Structure formats: structure tokens, C-alpha cells
Amino acid sequence: MTAQILDGRAVSATILDRVQQEVAEFVAAHGRVPVLAAVLVGDDPASHTYVRMKANRSAKVGMRSRRIELGADTTTDALVSRIRELSEDPAVDGILLQHPVPEHIDERAAFEAIDAAKDVDGVTRTSFAMMAFDEGGFHSATPGGIMALLDAYEVPLAGKHAVVVGRSPILGKPVGMLLLARDATVTYCHSRTTGLADYVAEADVLVAAVGRPELIKGEWIKPGAVVVDAGYADNTGDVEYAAAARRASFITPVPGGVGPMTIATLLAQTIRAARDHEAGRPDGE
């Protein structure tokens, strides 16, 4: 058996085509272009690359990307102040803080400075709580993208055992909540889980989101399982790909699986934020 590829590039292209149409309709209705503000702290090359990719995708769908670059010596207070300014700026529809930030910055404090109505990357406590309670709000972009990818391939989730390897507040934890909301039975694991191989072997759906290249061996994969690899380091995921692909029914490639879906979800949520923004304006503004 060779696994079918969960093609994030193809599915994200379909989503972005829809977003482009929605943006055109928004501009025609409101006479302005949706604006996504991207805040970048420091000089990490990968972060600069990611922000540039997001800006390029924004332009392709007709949105405007406002790039705010701050030095590596920026303090938490200065970053929080800048994000609050963007939160209060009526011209900005969505805010993205590129992470990780330099180690001396309190990243959580910076995330919480984002107005929940503009949290299109789904990183605030408010967004997490609203998602977990199924009360709207914005999904964390990567988990939201994962769910959209599974839906595009009509992967059944109800009643399935989903194992999430990873516990970050913007990936592992929220994707588990989204799977739970779809009636999957969810087990959380992480890099320090004792007997990790045994848990992985029980997974009908595996989401690897721990950030440790090839931590999960292909021989651990249950035959017929669905494997979603959200890890990325030098074109290598968290799962031993070749061996896993011989056992899984579906698998995401790295790159080309989860990554494109993250950006597509971010932009889909930005146009949604822009529509909500306009709906909330007092008449005449």
C-alpha cells in the first residue's frame, strides 16, 4: 500500500481562488482593500521568508500587507505598544505577529495585545476559548488549515481515534480541540511521552506537531492511518516519511502539505475579519 498524498498546495490554491473572489466583492462593496498587518521582530532569516511569502500571497488575492519591522533589541513593552496601536487602527483588518520572537520578549503578552477581532492567526486566549467552545472566533491558522485539508479529502473523523503529538498553544492544543469538536476521540502526546510508539500505533488519525525531525518512525504507523505532519525543519517533517507512506492511507508531504494550508487559512480569516469590521462600523463611517 502506498498512501494517497494530502496535497496542501492544490487545496490551498482552491481556497485562495475563493478568497480572491471574496476580496474583489468586498472592494466593490466597500471601496477599500482589506489590510493585513504583519509584525516582524528581529532578523531571523526564516521569519523574514515566511512574512515575505504571506505578503506575496496577500497581493495575489488583492489584499494589502502592511509590514512592520522591529529590531532584535525591541522590548516586550515596545512590541505590545506597537501591536495595540495596530489593534486600534481602523484601517487594519487583521494582525499577524510572526513567531518565534527573540527569547527576551514575552511572546504571550505580545499575542494578547492583539484585538481578538483582528486575531486572524488565532493566537490569543480569546480565540482559543471561542474555538474550544465552538462560539466562533478565529482558528489558529495551522490547525484550521489541517481541518480544511482533511475535509477536502473527505477524511472521516467521527468516532476515530486521533493522536496529537505536540502541545503548543497555537498548534497541538487547538488542533486537538478541533478534532474533538468533530467527534474524534483525542489523545495528546508530546516528546516526553513514555511509550510514544504505542500511542501512535493506536491512531486512526495522527497529527505530528512536535517540531522534532523524524521523531515518529514509519513502523509505528497503524496500517491505513491518516498521517498529518505539521513539522518542518530543512524540508524534513516530524514523521519518517517514506516508511510511513508505505503504511498510511493518506499522508501530507513536507513541504507541500500543511504549510500552504496555513497561509490560505490566514488569508481566508482576514477577509472574514474585514467583512466583520465593516459590519460593525456605525452608519456613515
Q: Is residue 268 within 8 Å of 261, Cβ to Cβ?
A: no
Give the separation between CA 166 and CA 207, rounded to whole angstroms.
8
54, 160, 173, 222: the catalytic one is 54
7, 115, 121, 229: the catalytic one is 121
Give the type of residue at 255. P
Residue positions counted in the chain: 285
98, 118, 222, 269: the catalytic one is 98
244 phi/psi in degrees, rounded to 5: -65, -40
Rg (CA), the chain: 19
Q: Judge whether 60 counts as a catalytic residue.
A: no
User: For the range 105-113, what are the long-range contacts, defined as Cβ-Cβ under 8 Å and sequence gap of 24 or more?
Assistant: 105/41, 105/74, 105/75, 105/76, 105/79, 106/76, 109/76, 109/80, 110/76, 110/79, 110/80, 110/83, 113/79, 113/80, 113/83, 113/84, 113/87
Q: Judge whether 21 counts as a catalytic residue.
A: no
Q: Judge whether 89 counts as a catalytic residue.
A: no
CB-count burial class (<10 Å; 0-12, 13-18, 19+) for 118:
buried
Known catalytic residues are 54, 98, 121
